[in-house]
Structure 1
């Protein structure tokens, strides 16, 4: 698990290789990840947007950007957590992702960016 804290918001990421949804012979490697967002601040916050940077070990890079996460723009109260699961496919058996969330403090509508720490996407047999 990797973790980062930005402006009182803690982001933790866990990844799992999805063997049953992968097809290495066709260069399709599927990974699932779980994101936990913990509001350590004294303010209610809302996740407004996300931006992902996805890297394959063959040099391919992708950027994914959009509103919310998994179709939602959750409000996270002080001391509370929000978790969600998502996935990513690569064309190689090693890669990584990183990114950021655009958050908004509800009290004064101030927007700020929270780092999503870089995490590795590695097929387990590559870890020998």
Structure 2
């Protein structure tokens, strides 16, 4: 598990390799990542936006930016945790992701970035 804490917001990531899928005639390696966002601060925060950088060893670096996560902009009170699952598809069997969440402290309306640690996306090794 990969973890990072920014301003009392602890982001933890776990990844799972799901196998090979085809999009059209192109083979992709499918990964799921499970994110846990724990508010260890004393203030209520809201996740507004996400920023991802996706590294695929056989493809160009991809940047993703958008509102919320999985269609939500969750409000996370002190000592509460928000969890979600999402997916990533790579052309190669090895890659990584890193990113950040734009958060807002709902008490003082100050925005800040909660960092998501770099996490690996690696297929299950094959032995023969």
TM-score of the pair, normalised by structure 2: 0.93
Quote how far apart the aligned CAs of 1:125 are.
Answer: 1.2
Looking at secondary structure, tell me which structure has more helix per residue. Answer: 1
Alignment coverage as a number of residue pairs: 126
Conserved in 1, the CA contact under 8 Å of 2:55 and 2:96?
A: yes
Please list every run of at least 4 consecutive aligned residues from structure 1 whose deviation after the TM superposition is greater than 4 angstroms: none
Which secondary structure does the structure 2 equivalent of 1:18 belong to? strand
Once residues 48 and 94 of structure 1 are traced to their aligned partners in structure 2, the CA distance between those partners, rounded to angstroms, is: 30
- Residue 54 (structure 1) aligns with: 54
Deviations 1:4-57 (A, max 9, x none): 0011000000000012x535x943101000000000000000000000000001
Conserved in 1, the CA contact under 8 Å of 2:59 and 2:91?
A: no
- Residue 88 (structure 1) aligns with: 88
- Residue 37 (structure 2) aligns with: 37
Quote how far apart the aligned CAs of 1:59 are.
Answer: 4.7
Which secondary structure does the structure 1 equivalent of 2:125 belong to? helix
Deviations 1:43-75 (A, max 9, x none): 000000000000001252100000000000000
Looking at secondary structure, tell me which structure has more strand per residue. Answer: 2
- Residue 109 (structure 2) aligns with: 109
List gaps (5 residues or longer) in structure 1. none
2:21 counterpart of 1:22: yes
Conserved in 1, the CA contact under 8 Å of 2:17 and 2:30?
A: yes
Deviations 1:66-110 (A, max 9, x none): 000000000000000000000000000000000000000001110
Deviations 1:97-124 (A, max 9, x none): 0000000000111000010000000001
